[in-house]
Amino acid sequence: MKAKQLSIFLENKVGRLAEVTDVLGDKDINIRALSLADTSDFGVLRLIVDDPDRAEKALREDGYTVSITEVIAVKVPDKPGGLSRVLKSFADLEVNVEYMYAFAGKNGDNAVVVFRVDDPERAIPILQQHGVALLTEDEIYQ
């Protein structure tokens, strides 16, 4: 139910993002979801890719600072209040959402949102008991 997310630390300068995507493209690694946060000096690019271990290796070999973090991908009903219901489940369970971002596509009638939470081991079974649908690794990486 968890997925591996790559976090790549980048200098905030022209072309750095293109360089990262070139490395992945040259290795035939597909980006499934991404988030970019920046400051004046550096940025953190968070990626879900179809082969995280190979992507990490390729990026490290090219000199990038990369870490892998476990995240949860959740099916969120694509209708008003859908995201609110999922976020309320986290709050009711006292699970802190550190950050989140969405996939570009949909899964059936659902949007897909990636969550980084403070305690995924505790969150996953409780979310499932509350009827929140989580994606498997295969669903995430496809």
pTM > 0.95: yes or no = no
Q: Which fold has domain 72-141?
A: Alpha-Beta Plaits (3.30.70)
What pLDDT shows up at residue 121?
86
User: What is the tens place of the pLDDT at every residue in 64-109?
Assistant: 999 999 999 998 888 899 899 889 988 988 889 999 998 766 566 7
What is the Cα–Cα distance from 103 to 126, expressed in whole angstroms? 23
Q: What value does the mean pLDDT of the chain take? A: 88
What pLDDT shows up at residue 49?
94
DSSP E strands in 1-142: the ranges are 2-11, 31-38, 42-49, 65-77, 97-107, 110-117
What pLDDT shows up at residue 23?
97
Show the tokens assigned to 102.
Answer: 């969405």
- Delimit the domains of the chain by residue range: 2-69, 72-141
Residues in the chain: 142
Q: What angle do CA 7, 4, 99 make, to 5 degrees?
A: 60
What is the Cα–Cα distance from 3 to 12, expressed in whole angstroms? 27
User: What is the tens place of the pLDDT at every residue in 125-137?
Assistant: 888 888 888 888 8
What is the Cα–Cα distance from 66 to 56, expressed in whole angstroms? 7
Same fold: 2-69 with 72-141: no
CATH classification code of 2-69: 3.30.2130.10
